[in-house]
Structure 1
């Protein structure tokens, strides 16, 4: 016998399909989200081009006049901090904490521009590029998160009323799109959204926002090709011989990454009240100049290897063309920490991958492990997971560099172990920095 409500259910289904097809507001919103996602990806591509050009100019200057960083780097660092503090305070640091702060439920729509806006997008692009023109040890991936989030957030002005896409969803998708486009890894952007930015369950299952993240990543792939800036990690046949050196790399990278995270938080918070923290608070521009001078000296001592993102050094190491001193890990560690402490806009993803890769290479040399690229990959994923305490995102980013799937389980294990070790030394870095960002809100919204 035919059910009584079958006709009713059929009518409801047809009405839902009809409404979905003819609802111009829904389709306008979808098209706008995808357009702005493409724009966000292209903005990150523009940042990539700008920063590579800027660092190339710095390298030409340094090769022509070896002593020039001693003057140029401190001068630029001081000028960047002065401009930032006077005009765009919200552009300081990585950019990831700002997006996390903007997604916080305590932040009213009127104050989200303190953390994410088109003004901050353009300022971040200019100042991060200037930082690499100065030779500072920073990455563009963290800034890419804030930059792309600012572009996507601007889409809210054009969305029709009663759009199903929330302001939070736009910012989350934009931040993830920044990672996807910066690393040419759409899947890494999706995981970053889930692991670091997402706060509401419905955002995690939004097909439209996930499609926007993937589209942003494809913008970079379509222009630069499906290649990693660090090169390709070619893994040979694995055996049980990897177990001990792999474990050593995972634990050491966890300890080093946890120490880096703790040191960075202590120095940026300035809670210890030491002489340097008081100087930074009293005279931030002069302090930045001193940081720039130290970074220049470290760069010259390392024969220029610690300047910039670390992409070139890591690529040379993977290709077996690098004869860097074993002190590179320590020197790059210090240069990256001091760069972040100076307060300039810039990220730590790329330097973290460079430090971790060099740590893995050092272990391979010390333990006589023949397949050094394998330990380099484990060091990259371990140190990045330890610093960010985002093991899944770190695993996917490094996995994209590996030719073949033989190392997948080892990468995952290294990320989990290193992140666990890091948690013994430090709280999650970006969450803690996001809380510092929230202190810029009016007192009534901080409660």
Structure 2
């Protein structure tokens, strides 16, 4: 005999089981391994690890390329007068021919890429551009160009992060570009805090709250990769000099004003070469290969005459910071070599060369303040000039503080940076990277 109540219970149990299965399926779709949140986490993790590894490879390659050129210049001291201009012309031609968006620093490209990140992956942040940027930046160092790898690392890292998100089918947003670029700065200098401040001050004109976790995560992971493989190194070596309040009061304004004037002048000249409608400058831009050859000749003449301005000039800068003295002309000579390289259009950044120019400026300041800690005076000169160029005072202070372990000088460094930023604004109203990014805006919007 059939039990009606039992049949009713069975008929009600089936829909309940179906509803439970449906709820489990919904939860799995939302929170399981294939869910958007897990795909986003996988994209951030894989992108940050990849860019951290590539930043270390880039650093090693850049050092090796610089060493090879220095050995070449020591063996044949006057050969760069022929080789360097020819190499500049060739690299400028290759850049224009293969990947025009690989020219210059790379930071302006990523600032422009934020307008339409998906479209930018076809030009400003494409795999082709990143590969060319990597190879030709190393080639520029192999030719003696006064370039750094930090700006190119920003562009390459942002591209890697964007492709990681595309691989895991996660939308590529402005936050992704900013996070990749910030992680690139952190990995290039082994300065995690500088990556965060750079994202706030330069890459993201309006720093959105929702970017915070993405930027922090990318910087943390890339920093851990760099730390795990390269060790806990300090970029320029530890500097232990300090300044008393009485010593800092006269030194800080002088370093800030001189650094702001010199850095602002560099930015003004760079922007004039890039954007001015003056007939001579416009004519030079229409002949990029000839301009590069002429710039290469300037770099070669300065390098052969001094022997200290090739490449990043990392070693002279490090020696100045640690107390060694340099010829008074080192800072001005490096300024000329860096400006000539920058206007040539070769792929390569200005971070490391600008730090070297700043160290040379600091060495000049030591002549006026001989009783103070030599390293401390040099660091204030470096901070003033670097801030004057990039107009990002917080980033400048954090990079230099982390790169020299000079936390005891934070307040003098910050005061110098703020003064330099104000003075540089009087010399050049437009910030360097923002002005240069305008040339790439159309490509970011069109793809």
TM-score, normalization: structure 2?
0.89
- Which whole-Å CA distance do the structure 2 matches of 1:388 and 1:45 have between them? 24
> What residue number does 1:36 align with?
47
Compared with structure 1, are the counterparts of its residues 208 and 263 closer, same or farther at alpha carbon in structure 2 (3 Å cutoff)? closer
How many angstroms apart in 1 are the aligned matches of 2:198 and 2:32? 34
1:438 aligns with one of 433, 438, 441: 441
**Among candidates 48, 62, 73, match of residue 73 of structure 2:** 62
Gaps of 5+ in 1: 1-15
1:306 aligns with 2:309: yes
Once superposed, what is the RMSD of the aligned Cα atoms?
2.3
Q: Check the 8 A contact 2:200/2:207 in 1, yes or no.
A: no
Matched with 1:11 is none
- Residues 49 and 203 of structure 1, relative CA distance in 2, 3 Å threshold: farther
- C-alpha separation in 1, matches of 2:265 and 2:406: 32
Task: Provide the residue aligned with 2:63 in structure 1.
Answer: 52
- Partners of 2:357 and 2:139 lie apart in 1 by 22
Q: Secondary structure at the match of 2:324?
A: coil
Candidates 413, 416, 419, aligned match of 2:415 = 413
- Asked if 1:250 is matched to 2:253, the reply is no
In the TM superposition, residue 20 of structure 1 has moved relative to its aligned partner by: 6.8
Does structure 1 conserve the Cα–Cα contact (< 8 Å) formed by 2:189 and 2:403?
no
Deviations 1:265-323 (A, max 9, x none): 0012242112x541x23321122111111110001111x2111112111111123334x
Aligned equivalent of 1:338, options 337, 340, 362 = 340
CA distance in 1, matches of 2:179, 2:319: 34
- The CA deviation at 1:177 is 1.1
CA contact (8 A) 1:151 1:174 kept: yes
Partner-residue secondary structure (3-state), 1:395: helix
Deviations 1:96-137 (CA, angstroms, capped at 9, x unpaired): 000000002xx4733442211221111111010001000011
Whole-Å separation in 1 of the counterparts to 2:286 and 2:215: 43
Query: What does 1:115-264 align with in structure 2 at a 5 Å threshold?
Result: 115-160=124-169, 163=170, 166-199=172-205, 201-202=207-208, 205-236=211-242, 238-264=244-270
**Residue 110 (1) aligns with residue 114 (2):** no
Tell me how far apart the structure 2 counterparts of residues 224 and 268 of structure 1 sit (CA, whole Å). 37
Residues 282 and 405 (structure 1), Cα distance of their counterparts in 2 relative to 1, 3 Å cut: closer
Structure 2 counterpart SS, 1:233: coil
Contact persistence 2:89–2:293 (CA under 8 A): yes
C-alpha separation between the residues in 2 aligned to 1:81 and 1:224?
33
Counterpart Cα distance in 2 of 1:248 and 1:63: 37
The structure that has the greater radius of gyration is 2
Please give the per-residue CA displacement for 1:186-220, whole angstroms capped at 9, x wherever unaligned: 11111111111125554555424421122112222
Q: After alignment, is 243-252 or 398-407 more displaced?
A: 398-407
CA–CA separation in structure 2 for the residues paired with 1:368 and 1:51: 35
Per the TM alignment, residue 439 of structure 1 is displaced from its structure 2 partner at its CA by 4.3
Kept in 2: contact 1:149–1:172 (CA 8 A) = yes
> Which stretch of structure 1 is more off in the superposition, 23-32 or 46-55?
23-32
Deviation at 1:258, TM superposition (A): 0.5
How many equivalent pairs are there? 422
Q: CA deviation at 1:182?
A: 0.7
Structure 2 CA distance for aligned equivalents of residues 441 and 33 of structure 1: 23
What corresponds to 1:380 in structure 2? 382
Instruction: State the Cα distance separating 1:54 from its structure 2 match.
Output: 0.6
Number of the residue aligned with 1:9: none
Correspondence 1:397 to 2:408: no
Partner of 2:318: 315
Q: Select which of 264, 287, 296 maps to 1:283.
A: 287
Shift of 1:28: 2.7
Distance in 2 between residues matched to 1:253 and 1:47, nearest whole Å = 30
Alpha-carbon offset, residue 344 of structure 1: 0.4
Cα distance in 2 for partners of 1:291, 1:300 equals 14
